[in-house]
Amino acid sequence: SGRLVVAVDGPSGSGKSSVSKQVARSLGAVYLDTGAMYRAAAWHCVNEGVDLDDADAVTEAVRGMELTQSTDPDSEHIAVGGHDVTEAIRTPEVTAVVSRVAGVIPVREILQGRQRAEIERAGRIVAEGRDVTTVVAPDAEARVLLTASEQVRMARRSGQLAAAASGVDAETLKAQVAGRDRTDSAHSSFERPADGVTLVDSSELDFDQTVAAVLAAVQLQA
């Protein structure tokens, strides 16, 4: 099996992470969650007490961040400076600030560089995020934009939010996610796929059908 880079982008609630992991298993590939890297960067800045309004300080903190991340689709582990943050990066506190950290251009360049290095190293990989098809790996063998209708994404999100909720009410969490989407839209567009990117709309598909649709897109492109 030679080089096979599959890039999958999409908004939250599109089912991108679980679908990408299953696609990786089917292809015997590893899996890279780029969103987890932005979350780890945000966790690190908060943990170090960095002023999030100070772009230079945020950039320096992320440049010095020692990140280790599992690329096994069956074991999601991420650590900063040897400290396991797999669960800490999913808390509402980190989720509330991740878009601000991800909005710092030099932070994006640092993490995009690390993502490209990981993709090159792996060779056979499914890399998932928001700018993988367009910026990180526009030369990927297969590129997919995974979307779902606003209604379906909201429903899936409230399911996820309910599962993750820890004392914070659903309305607050929903508002936070909506705010994150607005901030994120500055550096990613999910309205239409870029040239050469296959659109998979999962609104009317169940999980297995969505995985099959992505695998079909991979087979057509690669």
- Residue 35 corresponds to which tokens in the numbers above? 């969103």
Closest by Cα among 51, 57, 62, 77 to 111: 62
Please tell me the distance from the alpha carbon of residue 163 to that of residue 76, in angstroms, as a whole number. 18
Residues in the chain: 222
Beta bridge mates, 95? none
Q: How far is the CB of 78 from ligand C5P (least distance, A)?
A: 11
Q: How far is the CB of 119 from ligand C5P (least distance, A)?
A: 12
Q: Which stretch binds ligand C5P (CB under 6 A): 35-43, 44-52, 70-78, 146-154?
A: 35-43
98 near ligand C5P (CB under 6 A): yes
Closest by Cα among 30, 55, 23 to 41: 55
Site for ligand C5P in 171-210 (CB under 6 A): 180, 184
Q: Are the beta carbons of 16 and 34 closer than 8 angstroms?
A: no
118 near ligand C5P (CB under 6 A): no
Residues in contact with ligand C5P, shown as a per-residue x/- string from 120 to 139 under the rule CB under 6 A: ---------xxxx-------
Positions in the binding site for ligand C5P (CB under 6 A): 12, 34-35, 38-39, 98-99, 102, 129-132, 180, 184
